[in-house]
Amino acid sequence: MAADLVLLGPPGSGKGTQAARLTAKYRIPQIATGDILRAAVDAGTPLGQQVKAYLDRGELVPDSLVVDIIRHRLAEPDSKQGFILDGFPRTVPQAQALDALLSELQRPLDAVLYLQVDRRSLLDRLSHRAAVDQRSDDRPEIIAHRIDVFLEQTAPLIDYYRQQSKLRLIDGTRPPEEVAAAIDEVLRSLG
């Protein structure tokens, strides 16, 4: 199955779990932009040096540079049959930049999968994860802030993809295997 997808969901929605499952099942790579940025910095590539300069100044990496990184990643052989973008886009300008790149590559998105989970469930999940994993970014006040920032930033993005008829809502409050089945159903409907 070939599919070009964006996977959206707030922290704690199960995005990582579902992306890994999709990659294993359909053999299409998960492209997590944060991982790519860190790998480029670690490898010391020219692109990585540019990224490091922004990070060293405490600045966000500009959208144009992230899109450039995605362009390079989509040129790799394993993404010819599809990709799952995770962590990008986060804003409407980023979505527009991504659309321009994909149009240039003649690879429009097949769907944007949004794992919907209500705020209370997210807080419960992340609080539980913090207790188990002891992650520093899963403290209650930080959890609430991360969720609010995501929902605030992403609301316009949801509307953007809804207007393009690309948005597919997935009930992320259900058990992981039911979420996976719902995603599989969406993918079958694309074919």
**Set 38, 52, 107, 146: catalytic member:** 146
Is 31 or 34 the better-scoring residue by pLDDT?
31
**88-135 pLDDT, tens digit each:** 898 899 999 999 999 999 999 999 999 999 989 998 888 877 777 766
**Set 27, 71, 80, 135: catalytic member:** 135
Domain ranges of the chain: 3-32+82-190
**41-88 pLDDT, tens digit each:** 999 988 889 999 988 888 888 988 889 889 989 999 999 999 999 988
Return the closest-CA partner of residue 148 out of 122, 174, 112: 122
**Set 90, 107, 162, 174: catalytic member:** 90
Residue 129 appears among annotated catalytic residues: yes
126 burial type by CB count under 10 A (0-12 exposed, 13-18 middle, 19+ buried): buried
Residue 52 appears among annotated catalytic residues: no
Hey, what amino acid is at 44?
Answer: G
Strand partners, 83: 4
**Cα distance between residue 144 and residue 152, in whole Å:** 12
Look at residue 136 in the predicted model and tell me its pLDDT. 59
What is 3-32+82-190's CATH number? 3.40.50.300
Residue 15 appears among annotated catalytic residues: yes
Strand partners, 30: 84
Query: Between the CA of residue 101 and those of 86, 95, 115, 118, what are the distances in Å?
Result: 16, 10, 24, 32
**Set 15, 21, 125, 166: catalytic member:** 15
**Set 52, 129, 162, 174: catalytic member:** 129
Look at residue 5 in the predicted model and tell me its pLDDT. 97
